[in-house]
Amino acid sequence: MTEHPNAALLRRLYEAFHAKDRSTLAALIAADAVWHVPGSTPISGAHRGAPAIFAYFQAMSERSGGTFHADLVDVLGSDWHAVAIANALGRRGTRSYAGRYLLLTRIEDGRIVEARLFNEDEAAFEAFWS
């Protein structure tokens, strides 16, 4: 059985994120996409448009001293959506974070138009990024 194209798209997103391949990320994320991050941390909110989404990615890197990364566990894809299940890891000074999350994406015309993050342990996420 072959992988759904939207699942493959999400795998490419994670590969590009790890490689810091901005051109591939830009090709996979629509210019007017919205990336929803829960909570009340400095990185939380609805990041609207590719520049804001890239600023969010940059903020995660800067705030974690470049240590934040996500290890993809699984991807599920359909004609309109793809869901990533991943483990996130990072350090900020004396704080460390290890948590599982879901990233629900809506895909149109081969590009992510909306992403919504769901953390398994929201309190740990808040404590790490605050």
How big is the chain, counted in residues? 130
Span 56-69, average pLDDT = 96
CATH fold of the domain at 5-129? Nuclear Transport Factor 2; Chain: A, (3.10.450)
Annotated domain spans of the chain: 5-129
Is 49:76 a contact under the CB 8 Å cutoff?
no
pTM: 0.94
Return d(Cα 21, Cα 57) in angstroms, integer.
12
Average pLDDT, the chain: 96
**Helix extents (H) in the chain:** 5-19, 22-28, 50-63, 122-129
Return d(Cα 21, Cα 85) in angstroms, integer.
21
Is it the case that residue 1 has pLDDT exceeding 90?
A: no
